[in-house]
Amino acid sequence: MQVTTILLIDDDDEDRLLLQKLLARVAGAHYQLIYESSYDAGLRHALEGEHDICLLDYRLGTHNGIELLKEARRQGYMRPIVLLTGAEESEIDIQALQAGADDYISKNHLQGELLHRIIRYAIERKKAEQERERLLHEQIASKELERKKNEFISMVVHELKTPLTSLKGFTQLLARRLAKDCDPHISQLVSRIDAQSNKLTALIDDLLDVTRIEGGTFQFDEDFFSFDELVEEILQDIQLTYTSHTLLREGKAGKIVWGDRKRIGQVIINFLTNAIKYAPDAGKIIVRTEANEQEITFSVQDFGPGIAKEKQEQIFAPFYRIEDPAQRSAPGLGLGLFISAEIIRGQRGRIWVESDEGEGATFLFTLPLSTTK
Ligand code: ADP
């Protein structure tokens, strides 16, 4: 049986004998009583000695128990304290609780079972309270760490962005000058620098978006726009850049949508570039748009490796990339779909993937039409 050690601070020896007798009779429990009879010795013992709980008499010579209680708590005493009060001290119970006692018991009502219950409850309550505090501290610390990490990433990303913007400006200037002198080989090299700095800009923009999402500052700039025109613009752009795949367009929405055109475009581009990146040999991609009275459904279907069922939710998590030797050569940070999901949810739509491994993948999103013209 586990032994519960009680530190009794009480200047009345009779109390000690009575408590000892009562506690010895409690069935199913084993108590050990350590005794101190003065304020100073009691305080010292409380702060330095090993025990599970402190029983403290209100009367302690020239001091009283509440003073000791306050001083012990002030010095960081963490164990439960139960105050023993006399008959004429009934109104000090609230004072005791306010000073940091966990419970009190009147000496007039001392009785084994009651004492046993009060001690057990005080110990268990203290444990639960300390556990709650520990969890809260942990939570605060991890939030603080998260905030610092976000701040750091955001600072690094801003620092990276400034020289990159200059680099891009100079490259474009160089390209214009060279177009006049017309050395095709050098022009080609410059346009490669330009393409690479565009990729770097896209990566940095993704990181910026993540810091905004995690910092709660991701915002939308909403207006009315034609969904079909947006799709058409993006398809033309992508088809110009990537000649390896034929983009087949099926269906139209025929709707004017209320939303952030640029952000929704970002999702469409993410779907399409992923379809090209992860199905490099497939040759074609099908882009579908459907609409009913309630919503538009847009999808991009590829004929690549597809995505296993158990990974279909995870790919929308930040920094998640499928560990597959065939996919490892594809560049990326695993942020595109996370940002896309944040955008679509922020635009009151749904986003998901339908796929069987080896059978290609179809990425879909919907946008509600309740706020459309
Ligand atoms: P990234 O492409 O930068 O890695 P994404 O968030 O866009 O980041 O995609 C997350 C992961 O989902 C990718 O790394 C890839 O493993 C998987 N994935 C995305 N699109 C496809 C697709 N069309 N076919 C197969 N896997 C895909």
Domain with residue 57: its CATH number is 3.40.50.2300
302 lines ligand 1 (CB under 6 A): yes
Task: Tell me, yes or no, whether 171 and 231 share the same domain.
Answer: no
Lowest mean pLDDT among 34-38, 96-100, 106-110, 167-171: 106-110
Task: Give the per-residue pLDDT at 90.
Answer: 65
pLDDT exceeds 80 at position 327: no
Mean pLDDT of 84-95: 79
Mean pLDDT of 96-105: 91
Task: Tell me, yes or no, whether 231 and 356 share the same domain.
Answer: yes
Question: Which among 83, 81, 373, 137 is positioned nearest to 256, based on CA atoms?
Answer: 373
Mean pLDDT of 345-356: 97
343 assigned to some structural domain = yes
Q: Which two tokens stand for residue 27?
A: 């069935």
Task: Tell me, yes or no, whether 279 and 261 share the same domain.
Answer: yes
131 assigned to some structural domain = no
337 lines ligand 1 (CB under 6 A): yes
pLDDT exceeds 90 at position 183: no
259 assigned to some structural domain = yes
Neighbours of 64 (CB within 10 A): 18
Task: Tell me, yes or no, whether 77 and 157 share the same domain.
Answer: no
* Confidence band, pLDDT 50/70/90 cuts, at residue 372: very low
Mean pLDDT of 17-30: 90
Task: Tell me, yes or no, whether 242 and 202 share the same domain.
Answer: no
* Confidence band, pLDDT 50/70/90 cuts, at residue 367: very high
pLDDT exceeds 90 at position 149: no
Task: Tell me, yes or no, whether 236 and 364 share the same domain.
Answer: yes
307 lines ligand 1 (CB under 6 A): yes
Distances (CA, A) of 144 to 63, 137, 138, 156, 208: 43, 10, 10, 18, 19
119 assigned to some structural domain = no
- What is the percent of the chain with per-residue pLDDT over 70, rounded to a whole number? 97
Task: Give the per-residue pLDDT at 331.
Answer: 79
Task: Give the per-residue pLDDT at 191.
Answer: 86
Higher pLDDT, 51 or 371: 51
Contacts of 301 (CB under 8 A, 6+ apart): 275, 285, 286, 287, 288, 360, 361, 362
Task: Give the per-residue pLDDT at 328.
Answer: 65
Question: Which among 66, 50, 46 is positioned nearest to 58, based on CA atoms?
Answer: 66
Q: Quote the ligand 1 centre to 331 CA distance (angstroms).
A: 10
Q: Quote the ligand 1 centre to 357 CA distance (angstroms).
A: 14
128 assigned to some structural domain = no
Domain limits for position 195 = 139-215
Task: Tell me, yes or no, whether 98 and 162 share the same domain.
Answer: no
360 assigned to some structural domain = yes
Task: Tell me, yes or no, whether 159 and 290 share the same domain.
Answer: no
Question: 195, 215, 235 — which closes off a domain?
Answer: 215
305 lines ligand 1 (CB under 6 A): yes
Domain count for the chain, please give it.
Answer: 3
Task: Give the per-residue pLDDT at 87.
Answer: 64
301 lines ligand 1 (CB under 6 A): no
Question: 194, 215, 236 — which closes off a domain?
Answer: 215
Q: Quote the ligand 1 centre to 268 CA distance (angstroms).
A: 14
Q: Quote the ligand 1 centre to 6 CA distance (angstroms).
A: 62
Task: Give the per-residue pLDDT at 185.
Answer: 84
Task: Tell me, yes or no, whether 259 and 331 share the same domain.
Answer: yes
Q: Quote the ligand 1 centre to 286 CA distance (angstroms).
A: 17
pLDDT, mean over the chain: 91
Helix axis angle for 112-181 and 184-215, nearest 10°, is 160
316 lines ligand 1 (CB under 6 A): no
185 assigned to some structural domain = yes
* Confidence band, pLDDT 50/70/90 cuts, at residue 351: very high
pLDDT exceeds 80 at position 91: no
Task: Tell me, yes or no, whether 75 and 190 share the same domain.
Answer: no
Q: Is 106 exposed, middle or buried (0-12, 13-18, 19+ CB in 10 A)?
A: middle
Question: 55, 90, 110 — which closes off a domain?
Answer: 110
Segment 129-144, tens digit of pLDDT: 999 999 999 999 998 9
Mean pLDDT of 290-300: 96
